[in-house]
Structure 1
């Protein structure tokens, strides 16, 4: 990777109007396609192979990786991908590299679909999550560059989420239908092939500058550089994973361990660290190393601008989508336990989920352009909670595909609406000086606590069941109530204003 010549990147001249919406819809599709393959689809695959519910819960921690995207997001602002960036620009260069990472990781999961070694399964799931997240970071930065105001963000966010959610639904549904008919390997090969489809489209797009020569050389150089980067990333993840598994074994963490107290303690650490650092950050001068550092400067800037209000903002963003995340990892194992087949779940996750999700995203994208911010956030939280309560309702109905469709539609509509509203809200919090890094930090932190708790969800449900309670019922009731709890923050959020930039 090479250092970028400029920090900001202007969009191509043709990227406007319908073309702009189409491009970001495609980018949303690229990021959404692999998501279920390391989350919901993977949980069903593990369940089919007899993996314990508690261990399936642990696999939710693979989804923690997007939470830490702030750790490498500054690299995407600072460095170029050789070959790709020279011709297509910094943002698209990273997007193209990430797509290659998604394809190779999905293919590797197809080759290891028997899950004989859960460590190997986890390795490729982590790599798939890493490259999917890298794609999102690059695309989000480009989106904020192109549309710096709320009015411009609304349609682009809607287009991006339409692409994202349509790909998620298509991948989730298609993978399950194929898995039921031809096995898990075939399902992952199908998604790997589909994940490659956007790459030639981006490669055929106009160059970043007014140059038409050199496309073939840039593509060849980019592919060679990408191969080296992908191999290095896989080696690094394998090494880190080996250390993590060794430490877990030494601590006695396995499918029978009660990890909930440890997870709750870890959840407090980020807030304690932020509170401790805030006084020093507030006093930092414009040219202090804290604020000018490439690695941490963008994140220090956020706390400098919002002061103590930053703690309230971080608490709010950490619980706004918590209900959705808690439900995601265990909803499919619960539905499978109710007696539904993979084909029935796949049909529910196809047209029903797609239409409901699109409607929710469209409604969210529409109301943010017309209603006050607090109202849109509150409405999104209410519909997200209704989606979680729908799983409790489903559990007390005799197995019926029609009832499954109703619960799926409620869940997808609520997720879509809350997601669209939340993306616009986070986009308005960032400093345009650091769009990629700050959005990565906020959107990553938003899922830190939910995904930590989600990993312990399987243990919680099993222990509730052993104690004589309906574990799934209480779990999904609690997740819905957490979504509603976010509304209590809205009066405080309305009073928070950022400090004026002093540079």
Structure 2
């Protein structure tokens, strides 16, 4: 499970010294981190403050399931260029610029529905925000793996990316809560939308792609004009899909008291289950088989072809490793609200406390990923992350004092950052750099599938076992992932398939 254990083929592009990539990925992490809290923790807190019931709040946590399925559109990010933007900035930055426009528009929509009186409309803009945030991450992750294919190169870039990401999450969470405490949620979302848009002009001023065919300002105008119908079409598709789902649910007699978790789990697991069932056939394929060369399916089939039945072990491990962190994010803010903490205290915890603790954890985790065997680094990350969940059991049992909240958040965020940094490097080492965006999207999406499915049922779980039982359970699930590590350390890649021609 070290670089040798999961090694992949030769890079498709020459590696660039990490020191030149660090400022770039600090900015890209910031670009992706700002909106994440706004459709996740901040939205759930907003709903709680508007007295939306805890079960409905749990269902809104399923918006975070969308990144799990980013593999469905990630091959498009690998294959196609964005009109206008790509003429000057290239394919990867073109997708990033388009995604930032989508993020800004979606967050403005969430700002003007902040009364939460029309929950389907709130859900529409939350899903759009999740979609464009995820698309930005797909493009940035694919570029990162192309430019820095080795474990030693990945670790510092991952640290810079996560520092930017977590700084932005904290800025969004703490900033939005503090602004809402002094004004309202509309102003809070508009302020974060403006902050999220700041990297756009910075990226627009970066150097041209080596294969640039257009001029900077002409490409910017053409790309912005082309983005308008794309954003409108994405809104229409999501609205139509949401309407169809609601009609189908109404026709099936699904109500507020219906247990949706088994249905959602079955739908979410279906594509992964089909690939697993096809594993014996995939394993027998020749390296140049048509299925492996398929632009749509080839990148995903290649993962199962290279690792064989060990792929199931890898998927089982990655699905459990981050459960505690995701579930803590889902119910931590509603728990703080229920325990009597003020918005000011929550804002300080999310900002002044969470940021340095998280960045320290990311720094240590990235250093461990570069210097240690990945198996040892992963085990240490799981242990510290589990402790971060269990600290909330103590927090719930004592009176709501500021220092108690701050201590609990510091431990949680340190463990979250440490485990997250090690985990990103591990997933990157599993990827074939011939099609990095698609494969990293598949693996990282599946890695959060179980956690986000459980997040949607977190409200129901809390009603049964309470907040203390909930956080005790989630920490135990994260720690249980350590059981897989001795077996993962023995896994070796079979080599590389021919792959889609477009990725060559």
Structure 1 length normalisation: TM-score? 0.94
Matched with 1:122 is 123
> Relative to structure 1, is the Cα distance of residues 10 and 92 closer, same or farther in structure 2, using a 3 angstrom cutoff?
farther
Matched with 1:107 is 108
1:481 partnered with 2:476: yes
Work out whether residues 33 and 164 of structure 1, in 8 Å CA contact, stay in contact via their aligned partners in 2.
Answer: yes
Matches within 5 A, 1:397-476: 397-462=398-463, 464=464, 470-476=465-471
Alpha-carbon separation, structure 1, partners of 2:273 and 2:71: 18
Where does structure 2 lack aligned partners over 5 or more consecutive residues?
1-10, 499-504
Alpha-carbon separation, structure 2, partners of 1:264 and 1:133: 21
Alpha-carbon separation, structure 2, partners of 1:69 and 1:213: 30
Work out whether residues 271 and 311 of structure 1, in 8 Å CA contact, stay in contact via their aligned partners in 2.
Answer: no
Matches within 5 A, 1:7-406: 16-209=17-210, 214-262=215-263, 269=270, 272-406=273-407
Q: Which has the higher contact order (CA 8 A, sep 6+)?
A: 2
1:120 Cα deviation from its structure 2 partner = 0.2
1:252 Cα deviation from its structure 2 partner = 3.5
Secondary structure of the 1:236 match is helix
Matched with 1:498 is 493
> Relative to structure 1, is the Cα distance of residues 238 and 502 closer, same or farther in structure 2, using a 3 angstrom cutoff?
closer
How many aligned residue pairs are there? 488
Alpha-carbon separation, structure 2, partners of 1:123 and 1:43: 15
Work out whether residues 9 and 90 of structure 1, in 8 Å CA contact, stay in contact via their aligned partners in 2.
Answer: no
Secondary structure of the 1:208 match is coil
Structure 2 length normalisation: TM-score? 0.94
Where does structure 1 lack aligned partners over 5 or more consecutive residues?
1-7, 465-469
Q: Which moved more, 1:451-460 or 1:98-107?
A: 451-460
> Relative to structure 1, is the Cα distance of residues 389 and 303 closer, same or farther in structure 2, using a 3 angstrom cutoff?
same
Alpha-carbon separation, structure 1, partners of 2:29 and 2:180: 24
Partner deviation per Cα, 1:332-369 (whole Å, 9 max, x = no partner): 10110000011110111111100000000000000111
Partner deviation per Cα, 1:415-435 (whole Å, 9 max, x = no partner): 100100000000000111111
Alpha-carbon separation, structure 1, partners of 2:113 and 2:190: 11
Alpha-carbon separation, structure 2, partners of 1:100 and 1:208: 20
Work out whether residues 57 and 455 of structure 1, in 8 Å CA contact, stay in contact via their aligned partners in 2.
Answer: yes
1:269 Cα deviation from its structure 2 partner = 4.4
1:459 Cα deviation from its structure 2 partner = 1.4
Alpha-carbon separation, structure 2, partners of 1:9 and 1:342: 49
> Relative to structure 1, is the Cα distance of residues 17 and 460 closer, same or farther in structure 2, using a 3 angstrom cutoff?
closer
